[in-house]
Structure 1
Amino acid sequence: MRLLLAILLIVTIGINTSTAQTTPFVLGETQQFFSSILNETRTLNIYLPDGYTAAANTRYPVIYLLDGSANEDFIHIAGIIQFLTMIKQQPPAILVGIANSDRKHDFTFPTTVKKDKDDFPTTGGSEKFIRFLDKELKPYVQQHFHTNDTSTLIGQSLGGLLASEIVLKQPAMFNNYVIVSPSLWWDQESLLKQAGKLLAASPAVHVSVFVTVGKEGEKMEAPARQLGGLLKDKPGMYVNFEPLPEETHLTILHNAVYKALQWLNGVK
């Protein structure tokens, strides 16, 4: 009897194993294209909304994510977009995660601080990277995907520094900005010191800007507050400075993006 039960168990396990099937769980797609401005091939991670087809005529807003590598922020930000779309607090959107090759180079302008130059010798490439975003990346996405006229840029830390530089110098490049814990301390806060003049020189544009910072020390918190105040004074800018003191520099991005996308879509 025991032998019969053992045989039946082995057969059952064999049947279950042989009938089990596995298929890849596909979150998005990866594309690579060569940038003439940067003189290198760049990688994009793309999340497409449920029901997206190349043959359909539906057009979607695009959310551009700095630090968008698969092992950085692409996966959890895609999850936020999927969830907010599912609960109808966010319209279906395309997420473009921009994978890094050298973020310290791409996200920073040249510094006069000798220690920073010595510690991070590749820094100072933001001017080219901003041109890449404007002249190559955005046209590439518009050509290859069904996009509408609404675009959002998300950046944290050095990525927040880059987003701040864009909103101060070329605010019309995106409709919406999510600026999280911006590293405005860079080059002895030179960007912040120029902010008033840059805003005065830029044309009036209608853009929305969400700025936040966590419990990260005055070196991070004070400049973020100041940036939020300066942007609020610019005609045409709709600004929400919402500190998240329960978050740290390591934990803030996920909750910040969740709140920012709700705010951008009018969720109270």
Structure 2
Amino acid sequence: MALSIVGLSPLHARDSIPSEPLTIGTSYLVSTHGVERRVNVVLPADYDNSDKAYPILIMLDGGLQQDFYLSLGMERWNQLWQRSAPVIFVGVETVDRQRELLPPTGSKAEMVRYPTAGESAAFRKWLSTSILPLVRDQYRDDGRAFLAGESAAGHFVAETWAVAPALFDGYAALSPSLQWDNQSLSHSLAGIEKQDRPPLFISLADEGGETEEGVLRFVSEAGSNLCFADRRTELAHANTLHGLLPEALQYLLPTEADWLEEYGLTLRCSDKMGD
């Protein structure tokens, strides 16, 4: 009787169930700004079963303790509905976000609060000369690359679109922190030479104040090749990524699916500010 009880114990039952590691991608240990960090790459579901090439999506703040799982999950959820085209998903971990994602500031209050901030240009060069070549050397890409980020990373996206638009084929700046440096990015956009730029998805939540002023000014100067998601009455800064990344990917990486509207998976781009 005693042996029978032991044989049916939960421990024994667990030992008899086959298991294997759950592997979803590849993590590369890289370094910039004097700090090591991870670049996490996940391939489209059918990558190994075809010879197709795919666009690259660079997702900022893409560390395992950051937005990696959330943003990857939403990208894969889009795939279930064919809401956006499949991508080589590249989550780039940030370590000192203000240092890496924001340009210098003339605001004394920001200097005190974020004394290391101001090296976005160097981080942008690292992305373009190190990370994109790394991914393209390892995987079948179709030559296109897209950049997405939220908050401070959204400022980085908007800044890159403004000062180096040719680096990527499309941009998603979710609730960008355009209050930074007394809204200098939105002020300077008016003085930047007008040119054809890649598509830009840019959003505004309930931030109000200088952030709202900066975003609205940026949108007014950005031209027509954009989708402005004005969600001031619907979203908070904290849930912008949850609410809008699927829509941003739908805008940047459209498919031919004709059932999206039936299920409420639509783009809601404001024709003008205040819509």
Question: Which range, TM-score by smaller chain?
Answer: 0.7 to 0.9
State the Cα deviation string for residues 70-113 of structure 1 (Å, max 9, x = none).
11111111111112112222222111111112111011111111
What's the CA shift for 1:57?
2.9
Larger Rg: 1
Q: Is the 8 A contact 2:183 2:210 kept in 1?
A: no
1:194 and 2:181 correspond: no
Per the alignment, residue 17 of structure 1 pairs with 14
Question: Equivalent of 2:217, from 202, 222, 226?
Answer: 226
1:120 and 2:107 correspond: no
For residues 18 and 70 of structure 1, the distance between their equivalents in structure 2, rounded to whole angstroms, comes to 29
Per the alignment, residue 45 of structure 2 pairs with 50
SS in 1 for 2:199: strand
Gaps of 5+ in 1: none
Per the alignment, residue 61 of structure 2 pairs with 67
Q: CA RMSD in A?
A: 2.1
Per the alignment, residue 26 of structure 1 pairs with 23
Per the alignment, residue 263 of structure 1 pairs with 251
Q: Is the 8 A contact 2:187 2:217 kept in 1?
A: no
For residues 191 and 261 of structure 1, the distance between their equivalents in structure 2, rounded to whole angstroms, comes to 24
Change (3 A) 1:192 1:24: same
1:251 and 2:257 correspond: no
The structure 1 segments of at least 4 consecutive aligned residues displaced by more than 6 Å after TM superposition are none
Matched residues, number:
254
For residues 153 and 69 of structure 2, the distance between their equivalents in structure 1, rounded to whole angstroms, comes to 17
SS in 2 for 1:216: coil
Question: Equivalent of 2:179, from 161, 171, 185?
Answer: 185
What's the CA shift for 1:224?
1.6
For residues 157 and 81 of structure 2, the distance between their equivalents in structure 1, rounded to whole angstroms, comes to 28
Question: Which amino acid in the other structure matches residue 247 of structure 1?
Answer: L
Change (3 A) 1:135 1:203: farther
SS in 1 for 2:8: helix
* Superposition map of 1:115-154 within 5 A: 115-154=109-148
For residues 34 and 197 of structure 1, the distance between their equivalents in structure 2, rounded to whole angstroms, comes to 35
TM-score (norm 1): 0.87
For residues 248 and 28 of structure 1, the distance between their equivalents in structure 2, rounded to whole angstroms, comes to 31
Question: Equivalent of 1:159, from 128, 153, 157?
Answer: 153
TM-score (norm 2): 0.84
Q: Is the 8 A contact 1:225 1:241 kept in 2?
A: no
For residues 84 and 259 of structure 1, the distance between their equivalents in structure 2, rounded to whole angstroms, comes to 9
For residues 116 and 218 of structure 1, the distance between their equivalents in structure 2, rounded to whole angstroms, comes to 16
For residues 89 and 39 of structure 1, the distance between their equivalents in structure 2, rounded to whole angstroms, comes to 39
For residues 171 and 135 of structure 2, the distance between their equivalents in structure 1, rounded to whole angstroms, comes to 18
SS in 2 for 1:232: coil
Question: Equivalent of 2:204, from 204, 213, 233?
Answer: 213
